[in-house]
Amino acid sequence: MIPISSWGRLTALPHQVVSFSNLSKVSAAISASKQGIAFGNGRSYGDSCLNPGGVLWSTRGLGHLIAFDRDSGILSCEAGVLLRDIQSLVVPEGWMLPVTPGTQLITVGGAIANDVHGKNHHLLGSFSDHVTRIKLIRTDGEIIECGPNQKQDWFAATVGGIGLTGLIVEAELQLKRVPGPWLETETIPYSDLSSFFKCADESEVGWEHTVSWIDCLAGSGGRGLFMRGNPVADNTRSVPLTKKSSMPFVPPISLVNKLSLRLLNEAYYWLNKRKSSKQIVHFQPFFYPLDNLQNWNKMYGPRGFYQYQSVVPRDVGQDAVNEMLKEIGRSGQGSFLAVLKTFGDRRSVGMLGFPQPGVTLALDFPNNGRRTTELLDRLDRIVSDAKGRIYLAKDARMSRALFESSYPRFQEFLKYRDSGMSSAMSRRLLGS
Ligand SMILES: Cc1cc2nc3c(=O)[nH]c(=O)nc-3n(C[C@H](O)[C@H](O)[C@H](O)COP(=O)(O)OP(=O)(O)OC[C@H]3O[C@@H](n4cnc5c(N)ncnc54)[C@H](O)[C@@H]3O)c2cc1C
């Protein structure tokens, strides 16, 4: 048994880790095992990839690329392949993952099981909109192949299904053509939420990637920086050398606190406001700004941190976000990595998929015990009143009642659940 944490580092409880490196051994191993759950690269913040006291099936060893057709952009791979490895192979060939989250250090299995989204949801939806086939092994030995045109019900259960329908062992993806690794980007400072929404609306046509950082300590105004980008051809540049650094130790207390946050937010806003012009940037720093600081999650100290990501419908979005910012301001707690963006008019095909039309706010809070969880409970009420939902990939504490009311397809999902799979999250939200 070894202690395992997810990215939020809220717990480090013992798990029995079973690592796979050979596809042909998976079926027998999971059939013979006690209840378990897949563990990709542990980049989920909460408890979806944890099973304290029980088994974790680590999939990183299932890391083989199976085939890549340079003409059609169809790639098939095992589920433990990292998005980073796909990007390194295909970008030089003029292809890219159509949808990619804020880190490329996640597995294909994890990307499907949370149906992750990127900065271009308004144009290209979420990760699974580009998955053409999934191969799933169930703990009773059954093998299921599903996709958008094959066993669609199994596909809809597995996409966003937080690992509970079986172990995803292989996937086939349709990549997107790009002119190269570069993006033409623009940063636009905004001083209140209405300017954010105006900018987001204007950018939906003509800009593929949009995202914004919001200063949640600036009062209810909601100043921030709106960033947008489009792929662009540029043969004159060479790929920048990346310098990797690492958070070398866990500080005794969180380095993110009230004082440091105010300074960080102030500095980040003014530094980027000064640079606010058009730039050509490599896709890596634009999509994955934190990937070069390894273990950055340690800066929150030994008690870890909560990520809180919600989506609320667009018609009540401004009021709900405003209320959340006020609540955060009143609590005296704040978030540096605060991201606000709009989703387009499509829902995840997944029964438990997160994306839905609206506006999504992602925040992180150092774990200050009850003070923090009580703030999150108050944010839950705002989200629930607005008929929104919380993202399972980030969640470690939402109530079962909120889950059931905001994920109305959960009962339909239960029919596809593999009874040999269970996680801390499934026990908390589904009762087993
Ligand atoms: C810096 C950072 C930025 C992020 N930005 C975004 C973002 O922009 N958009 C977004 O949507 N998410 C984002 N995330 C969240 C992250 O993309 C998801 O949590 C993702 O699912 C993590 O994948 P993983 O491989 O680490 O899987 P894990 O975290 O290990 O597991 C996640 C879930 O997938 C299941 N799973 C994993 N592999 C398999 C498999 N082979 N078969 C069946 N189930 C499996 C697990 O059981 C678990 O339920 C971010 C995370 C970080 C740390």
pLDDT of residue 168: 98
> How far is the C-alpha of 25 from the C-alpha of 286, rounded, in Å?
39
Q: Are 162 and 392 within 8 A, CB to CB?
A: yes
Q: Are 333 and 141 within 8 A, CB to CB?
A: no
Residue with tokens 């102030």: 266
Q: How much of the chain exceeds pLDDT 90, in percent? A: 83
pLDDT digits (tens, 9 = 90+) for 297-309: 998 999 999 999 9
User: What SS3 state is found at 421?
Assistant: strand
Confidence of residue 245 (pLDDT cuts 50, 70, 90): confident
In degrees, to the nearest 5, what angle opens at C-alpha 81 toward C-alphas 304 and 420?
A: 70
pLDDT of residue 221: 66
Delimit the CATH 3.40.462.10 region(s) of the chain: 182-234+249-397
pLDDT of residue 272: 77
| Level-2 CATH architecture, domain 65-178 | 2-Layer Sandwich (3.30)
Confidence of residue 273 (pLDDT cuts 50, 70, 90): confident
Confidence of residue 54 (pLDDT cuts 50, 70, 90): very high
Confidence of residue 244 (pLDDT cuts 50, 70, 90): confident
Enumerate residues 6+ apart whose C-beta is below 8 A from 45: 6, 7, 8, 305, 306, 307, 364, 393, 394, 395, 396
Q: Is pTM, for the whole model, over 0.75?
A: yes
User: Ligand 1 centre from 6 Cα, in Å?
Assistant: 10
Confidence of residue 241 (pLDDT cuts 50, 70, 90): confident
Residues forming beta bridges with residue 39, ordered by sequence position: 58
pLDDT of residue 270: 79
Q: Is the dihedral of CA 58, 61, 66, 69 positive or negative?
A: positive
The length of the chain is 432
pLDDT digits (tens, 9 = 90+) for 58-111: 999 999 999 999 999 999 999 999 999 999 999 999 999 999 999 999 999 999
Closest approach atom of ligand 1 to CA 62: 41
Over residues 322-331, the mean pLDDT reads 92
pLDDT digits (tens, 9 = 90+) for 211-226: 999 988 776 567 899 9
pLDDT of residue 179: 97
Strands 293-294 and 245-246: parallel
- Domain 182-234+249-397 - what CATH class? alpha beta
Closest approach atom of ligand 1 to CA 79: 41
Q: Are 174 and 69 within 8 A, CB to CB?
A: no
pLDDT of residue 377: 98
pLDDT of residue 220: 57
Q: Is the dihedral of CA 420, 425, 428, 430 positive or negative?
A: negative
pLDDT of residue 170: 98
| Residue to probe by mutation, ligand 1, list 103, 127, 213, 290, most atoms within 8 Å of CB | 103
Compute the mean pLDDT over every residue in the chain, rounded to the nearest whole number. 94
Over residues 228-256, the mean pLDDT reads 82
Q: For the chain, state the CA radius of gyration.
A: 21
> How far is the C-alpha of 432 from the C-alpha of 419, rounded, in Å?
9
Per-residue pLDDT for 247 more than 80? no
pLDDT of residue 219: 64
Q: Are 51 and 4 within 8 A, CB to CB?
A: no
Per-residue pLDDT for 276 more than 90? no
> Directed axis angle between helix 317-331 and helix 370-385, to 10°?
160
Enumerate residues 6+ apart whose C-beta is below 8 A from 338: 213, 214, 215, 216, 361, 362, 363, 364
User: Ligand 1 centre from 423 Cα, in Å?
Assistant: 14
User: Ligand 1 centre from 195 Cα, in Å?
Assistant: 32
| Residue to probe by mutation, ligand 1, list 15, 19, 39, 43, most atoms within 8 Å of CB | 43
Closest approach atom of ligand 1 to CA 119: 8
- Distance, C-alpha 329 to centroid of its chain: 25
User: Nearest CA to 49 among 95, 94, 9, 98?
Assistant: 9
| CB-based pocket (< 6 A), ligand 1 | 7, 37-44, 48-49, 59, 79, 101-103, 106-107, 109-111, 113-114, 116-118, 162-163, 167-168, 290, 393
